[in-house]
Amino acid sequence: MTTSAPLSWLRPVPGSPGDSPHRAPGNTPDNPAGNTPGSTPDPLLIVVGGVPGAGKSTLLARIADDVPGSVVLDPDRYRRGFARRLPSWVPYAAYRWAVHTLHAAVTLLYLLRGPRSGAPLLVHDTATRERRRESLGLLARSRGWDPVLVAVDVSLDDALDGQLDRGRVVRPEEFVRHWERWTAQRSALADLDGGPRGPWSGVYLMARCDAFRPVRELARRRLPAGDPRR
């Protein structure tokens, strides 16, 4: 794989990826807040984070197909909508700002209005900006959601290849910032072993190849009681 010069000096994060999902007894993806049997937990918010190219949109698309009762917010949906309406010669870079602004606005709207149906809400976010990530969790909890963070763990090469595979490559200087923030935060996330952190009921570091099944089961089990899709 060939990378541009600004990326050539980046180094993989030690221990990343490929380990089994980190979990703590009594506070697992099936029971992120450690709720006691018989209690009624708040509707679930799952923020799927990871650097560009980690596979967040792919994971969310699979969840949307497999758990139709869930609500999935992903900027890729808006990107496709813009692409259908604009001339084919208009590059994504020209309207990327509009896609992400719209995604941020819709996400904020869903969080502020609070749970309506009890269905789990899954949100795409890089989650590499710590203040933004924690603010997202605090806002969600204040509005009645049970927030859980799933960080999709990939190697540097896999993240860069993932961008090439999807046909949308982040500007090198922007990716460097994402990767440096991820490098600085990954060890702290891994040390949580699935436990709570700040506003989050559970923080999980999952290798991309391992993430689908536990996230799918979590979303299924937190569908409203009586929903046949549980």
For the CA atoms of the chain, what is the radius of gyration? 17
CB 69 within 8 A of CB 119: yes
Separation of alpha carbons 7 and 170, rounded Å: 11
| pLDDT higher at 13 or 63 | 63
What six digits make up the tokens of 90? 């208009």
Q: Mind listing the domains of the chain with CATH numbers?
A: 42-221 (3.40.50.300)
pLDDT, tens digit, 9 for 90 and up, residues 89-130: 999 999 999 999 999 999 999 999 999 888 899 999 998 888
Q: What is the pLDDT of residue 111?
A: 95
Residue 197 has pLDDT above 80, yes or no: no
Other CB atoms within 10 Å distance of the CB of residue 139: 17
> Quick one: pLDDT band at residue 69, thresholds 50, 70, 90?
confident
Distance of CA 185 to the CA centre of its chain: 15
> Quick one: pLDDT band at residue 19, thresholds 50, 70, 90?
very low
Q: What is the pLDDT of residue 24?
A: 35
Residue 15 has pLDDT above 70, yes or no: no
Q: What is the pLDDT of residue 4?
A: 42
Q: What is the pLDDT of residue 29?
A: 60
pLDDT average, residue stretch 188-208? 81
Separation of alpha carbons 178 and 197, rounded Å: 21
Separation of alpha carbons 154 and 55, rounded Å: 9
Q: For the chain, what is the mean pLDDT?
A: 82
Distances (CA, A) of 48 to 3, 152, 173: 26, 7, 23
**Cis check: omega of the bond before 17, within 30 degrees of 0:** yes
pTM for this model (two decimals): 0.81
pLDDT average, residue stretch 198-213? 90
> Quick one: pLDDT band at residue 188, thresholds 50, 70, 90?
confident
Q: What is the pLDDT of residue 11?
A: 44
Q: What is the pLDDT of residue 87?
A: 95
Distances (CA, A) of 164 to 1, 11, 14, 173, 222: 10, 19, 24, 16, 34
Question: Is 29 in a helix, a strand, or coil?
Answer: coil
Instruction: Check the CA dihedral 170-174-177-180 and report its sign.
Output: positive
Q: In what order do the strands lie in the sheet with 146-153?
A: 71-73, 121-124, 44-49, 146-153, 202-207
Residue 28 has pLDDT above 80, yes or no: no
Q: Name the percent of the chain lying above pLDDT 90.
A: 55
